[in-house]
Chains A and B, each alone.
Chain A
């Protein structure tokens, strides 16, 4: 080993010790800094018990795009995949407060498909099951069969809101008047405005819709043309989380106080934006399909500023 301090190829024992000390100091400071920032972000979180054991924690599951009735090489057994997803939810080790299906429950909106998806979801061990319609759930009838099956207690064309453990949930319908992009319409926008007017700005808000409320890829219709208006009513809230389906893939983005999470599907994957001429089902190599499908667990603990989102592949 060279003793020349200028020799880049060698290092004296003293130099080695010095470098080790700097490295150690960097690691210690990094860990300390991380701890400090975490505590600023979520005071008391470190002391809080695990969400799964916290009776005050809100826990729900999002599933999406089951497309019951789909026949194609991308997934020759969508019913089986959906059944697998439901079993996975029932085996989570806790009972979710509710399960939300963010649309395209069926592939062709037939009465038999609605009946089948309703029956299958009745096996879920949860507080209640909620849904929003996808464009596949309103083929040729503007969502009438969907509302017959799942529209109880909703307003307008099937939109509604509810509260669970201090979190306000809004379920929107943006698939009925769509030409290219999703559309909410003036009645629904007015519903959102009035719905949140009474809420304090520290109330966590979660918005469900089928089509993204952000411009994920407008060329494929992956956006909602009048979402900006709806989101403007939510700007004053400290935490807004928008959960959608439709795009059959995980995707997250943040705009100010609003975080958008696109969910994956339990049926078949779609291409990433712009990678193919059209968003048609992707047939994956054998054994790879389950990796593209999944469910989403969402947790909220009172006093925390935001929701924790965890996407899990289909087991």
Chain B
């Protein structure tokens, strides 16, 4: 079960990284602050996803959750108050926005399940 959770987390995080890389290459790179942030998210998510495939301690799952939460927070801010002057509407660009949000929510859920199971194990 732990292996399945780890691989699923890696897969979802890799998808989030891939979509951010695709948007970065496709034009977001010229947007001040947002461009470099997309690049960082894409490269860090890919790196953590790769390490999760190999193995990795619980700390790496927390890093995955942090990256997913950061991307989601950026998404929400860009649809509400704006983020460094950048703003978008709804699930645009499609389909990347929806896919990315789904992948990041999945990462958070998977890490939460992992942590819950680890806590249960440590009690027994």
Q: Which residues of A contact B (CB under 8 A)?
A: 6, 8, 18-19, 22-23, 25-34, 36-38, 40-42, 239, 241, 249-257, 259, 262, 272, 305-311
Q: Is the CB of A41 within 8 A of B43?
A: no
Contacts of A19 in B (CB 8 A): 57, 59
How large, as a class, is the contact surface on chain B?
35 or more
Q: Is the CB of B39 within 8 A of A38?
A: yes
* Interface residue B70 (Cβ < 8 Å from any Cβ of A): no
Q: For the complex, what is the distance from the CA of A37 to the CA of B40, rounded to whole Å? A: 10
Chain B contacts with A in 43-69, Cβ cutoff 8 A: 43-44, 46-48, 50-51, 56-57, 59-60, 63
Q: A254-B28, A306-B29, A311-B85 are in contact. List 14 more A-B contacts (CB 8 A).
A: A25-B51, A26-B48, A26-B63, A29-B43, A29-B46, A29-B47, A33-B42, A38-B39, A239-B27, A251-B82, A252-B85, A259-B27, A307-B30, A311-B32
Interface of A is mostly: mixed
How does the 8 Å CB contact mask read for B11-48 relative to A, with 1 for contact and 0 for none? 00000010001001101111110100001101110111
Interchain Cβ contacts under 8 Å between A and B, 23 examples: A6-B122, A19-B57, A22-B57, A23-B59, A25-B51, A26-B48, A27-B47, A29-B50, A30-B40, A33-B17, A33-B43, A34-B42, A34-B43, A38-B39, A41-B25, A250-B85, A252-B86, A253-B86, A254-B28, A259-B31, A262-B85, A306-B29, A311-B32
Contacts of B95 in A (CB 8 A): none
Contacts of A34 in B (CB 8 A): 39-40, 42-43
Contacts of A18 in B (CB 8 A): 57
* Interface residue B87 (Cβ < 8 Å from any Cβ of A): yes
Q: Which of B25, B31, B46, B59 is the one whose CB lies under 8 Å from A33?
A: B46
Find the residue from A6, A8, A33, A252 having the highest chain B CB count within 10 A. Answer: A252
Q: Which of A239, A253, A306 is the one whose CB lies under 8 Å from B88?
A: A253
Find the residue from B27, B86, B87 having the highest chain A CB count within 10 A. Answer: B27
Q: How many A-B residue pairs have CB under 8 A?
A: 102
Contacts of A22 in B (CB 8 A): 51, 56-57, 59-60
Closest approach, in angstroms, between the C-beta of B91 and any C-beta of chain A?
Answer: 13
Contacts of A249 in B (CB 8 A): 85
Closest to B46 in A: A33
Contacts of B122 in A (CB 8 A): 6, 8
Q: Which of B17, B51, B87, B92 is the one whose CB lies under 8 Å from A26?
A: B51
Closest approach, in angstroms, between the C-beta of B79 and any C-beta of chain A?
Answer: 11
Closest approach, in angstroms, between the C-beta of B42 and any C-beta of chain A?
Answer: 6
Q: Is the CB of A37 within 8 A of B24?
A: yes
Closest approach, in angstroms, between the C-beta of B67 and any C-beta of chain A?
Answer: 10
Contacts of B24 in A (CB 8 A): 37, 41
Q: For the complex, what is the distance from the CA of A234 to the CA of B76, rounded to whole Å? A: 29
